[in-house]
Amino acid sequence: MNIYVGNLPYSATEDDLKNTFSEYGEVASVTVITDKFSGQSKGFGFIEMPNDSEADAAIKQLNESELKGRNIKVNQAKPREDRPRRPRY
């Protein structure tokens, strides 16, 4: 299952997320989204967990939990095509 993690502190690393989520099961991959020019975190990322029941447990336990002083948002990631497109000006 692909999991969205939002409201991340900018100091949070992929290792921080992997350590946090691996308490609930196997973590296949972790990606913190960064600005392509500055390299600064954009404050969100994605976790891939192959076992759906472990992923569900992680979502339930970690949503609204604190990570480095911020309450993170955790939910199942939506496929790109399901999101509305923002107009470009």
Residue 89 has pLDDT above 80, yes or no: no
Residue-wise pLDDT for 1-36, tens only, equals: 999 999 999 999 999 999 999 999 999 999 999 999
Residue 20's CB is within 10 A of a number of other CB atoms, namely: 21
pTM of this prediction?
0.87
Domain map (residue ranges) of the chain: 2-78
What would the CATH number be for the domain defined by 2-78? 3.30.70.330
Calculate what percentage of the chain has a pLDDT beyond 90: 87
> At 83, is the pLDDT very low, low, confident or very high (cuts 50, 70, 90)?
low
Residue 79 has pLDDT above 90, yes or no: no
